Amino acid sequence: MLDITVPATLSNLGPGYDTLGLAVSLLNRFQFTLADDWRVGGEVVAPAQQLTLATAQRAAHHFGGDLRGLHVVQTERVPRARGLGSSATARVAGLQAALTLCGLEVPLSEQLAFLCGEEGHPDNVVPALVGGLVIVEEDEGRVEHLRLPPPKLSVALCIPDREVRTDEARRILPAEVSRGDAIFNLRRLGFLLVGLLQEHEEGVRHGLHDRLHQPWRAPLVGPVEAAFAGAMEAGALGSFISGSGSTLAAFCTSDDVATMAAAALARPFAREGVACEQLVVRPVARGALASPRP
């Protein structure tokens, strides 16, 4: 048996659209067993119909392994379709299972290229695999990344019971942006990175603003401005939409502040009758971890 855990990820982090990703302490667990057929939780499936198994099958074929069947049991703590990288955890786990169980040694650069080809964008799968805070770039199938230490902050999460489809969230974005908006995001990204890496609270507070994607995505999520304002009043350094949403996240200086900020983020949704899960997590240095078991 092979036990693999993969962290949830926050992506974009405000101004870092399609550029920044962060692994956090919310894990999905996958238990794999080699077999002669394909099963999920004991039920026979066609591997192409299940994301983890489909990725494992394609990875084995892509890298020259022999994988005739696989059983997987998934323990999911990362909500699906909420901007927390649930699909990235499945793809990373599938890849790692194929490489480990087939005895394949593949350079990290090739693993990342494969994962980004599967996922379509790198800011979730890269931190899910390598952990930490990452800066990523994908260009014509080649993936570059810098892995940085995770910031020493707590993170408040508000996860509305509302799905935002990634394809719709991308489709509504403008094809072109003004020079002023581009410069605005570049400046804020600089403040944010310095703030996160040097524990500079004002840098984080000033850096968590965006003009490239959040203003268009906010209506798909709900009362985002009111939620962000509430989190600031509760003591958060700043907030952002994770991925395409619907999860809202806020960087905070402690777990206690994060608990209050999560409640504040959820309050405007409650007034609209939308239930929200509230969590406090921490950025983590670890990415996917595979542990063989007897």
pLDDT digits (tens, 9 = 90+) for 219-278: 999 999 999 999 999 999 999 999 989 999 999 999 999 999 999 999 999 999 999 999
Q: What is the pLDDT of residues 7-19, one digit of tens each?
A: 999 999 999 999 9
11 class by beta-carbon count within 10 Å (0-12 exposed, 13-18 middle, 19+ buried) = buried
10-residue averages of pLDDT along the chain (294 residues): 96 96 98 95 93 97 94 96 95 97 95 92 94 92 92 98 85 93 97 96 97 94 97 98 95 98 98 97 97 77
Q: Find the distance separating the first CA and the last CA of the chain, reported in whole Å.
A: 6
Q: Which of 78, 13, 17 is nearest to 51 (CA)?
A: 78
pLDDT, position 65:
93
Cα separation, 162 vs 36, in Å, equals 39
Predicted pLDDT at 294: 64
Q: What pLDDT, on a 0 to 100 scale, did the predictor assign at position 272?
A: 96
Domains, the chain, ordered by start = 2-148+284-292 (3.30.230.10), 154-281 (3.30.70.890)
Give percent helix, percent strand, percent coil of the chain, each to the nearest 5: 40, 25, 35
Confidence at residue 170, expressed as pLDDT on a 0 to 100 scale: 87
Q: Please tell me the distance from the alpha carbon of residue 2 to that of residue 216, in angstroms, as a whole number.
A: 42
Asked whether the bond before 239 is cis by omega within 30 degrees of 0, the reply is no
Assessment of whether the complete model's pTM goes beyond 0.85: yes
In angstroms, the CA 137 to CA 275 distance is: 35
Closest listed residue to residue 255, CA positions, set 274, 278, 233 = 278
DSSP string spanning 89-146? HHHHHHHHHHHHHTT----HHHHHHHHHHHHS-HHHHHHHHH-SEEEEEEETTEEEEE
pLDDT of res. 225: 97
Confidence (pLDDT) at 145 = 95
pLDDT value at residue 2: 96
SS (H, E, C) 187-220: HHHHHHHHHHHCCCHHHHHHHCCCCCCHHHHHHH
